[in-house]
Amino acid sequence: MTALRHALSFDVEEYFQVANFYDQFPRERWDEVPSRLDVGMQRILGALERHGARATFFFLGWIAERHPHWVTRCLEAGHEVASHGYDHVFLWDLGPEGFDEDLAKTERALAAAGAPRPEGFRACTFTVTRRSWWAFDVLARRGYAYDSSVHPVRHPVYGVPDFAPGISRVPAPGGAGEVVELPVSTWRALGRNLPVGGGGYFRLLPLAITRGVVERLEAAGRPAALYLHPWEFDPEQPRVPAKATARLRHYLNLERTLPRLEALLARFEFTTYRQVLEDQGALRSR
């Protein structure tokens, strides 16, 4: 029997597309900003290759249209390509019909870049919450097998704090079927679920804590699910004059991301979200 495998993912977007910086970089000006995508993608793919690991890349459709070679490179290296939506809009701002169009547009962009139809989805900024639960109907109707957009934490913008961490099947509220949910990892402490699977916490907490969480999940027979972004591997990116809290979250310990990922890749086995869901019996193998 092989060791338990954990799920690793990257949301493929530019540093200037994060929700934190919407005010500084309006969507209609994105094409004017020089891309930094290559820096992060090269470092990520290099690290995965060195450790023989696989991962899921949730691409923005906007990125797949402009940088199709990164879709190709990911596929050639044996990684999974999935959908992060088209251009990073919160789901409740899209609404059900807008979300359907957003997914279709992203599917076309991924297909044009040579990817198979995506089976997995992660919403911009984890914006599948109780107020956008209709997303499961749209995903089920469009044939998505799994989602990783519910974050079982308390947060001012997103989060479903009472959602059970771990793999579950979510019935679409309108009866369109069901979607397998694999939320990014949280850790129960101080009476609440703490976000340990990525983002600022991944760079803030000592590596020993992240490693300890993965070890304890592994000991319990549960796969961890991590999420990172190419811009987190690019400490040299231009600094944006945003609010102090936004800057803190975005720039904190960027130089730590790559060595931390490498330490985890050396210690644990990581693969795609699709493969972990197969390993765990939540999806049938193809």
Query: Measured between alpha carbons, how far is 74 from 179 in angstroms, rounded to an integer?
Result: 25
- Give the per-residue contact string, 11-50, with Zn ion (x = CB under 5 A; - = no): x-x-------------------------------------
CB of 90 to Zn ion, least distance (A): 11
CB of 12 to Zn ion, least distance (A): 8
Distances (CA, A) of 40 to 17, 46, 48, 249, 254: 14, 10, 12, 18, 11
3-state secondary structure 131-156: HHCCHHHHHHHCCCCEECCCCCCCCC
Nearest to 115 by CA among 61, 161, 158, 157: 61
CB nearer to Zn ion: pick between 183 and 218: 183
- Give the per-residue contact string, 65-84, with Zn ion (x = CB under 5 A; - = no): --------------------
Q: Six-digit token pair at 39?
A: 């820096």
CB nearer to Zn ion: pick between 80 and 218: 80
Q: Six-digit token pair at 80?
A: 């999974």
CB of 19 to Zn ion, least distance (A): 8
Position of minimal CB gap to Zn ion: 11
| Binding region for Zn ion (CB under 5 A) out of 7-15, 61-69, 243-251, 259-267 | 7-15
Residues that bind Zn ion (CB under 5 A): 11, 13
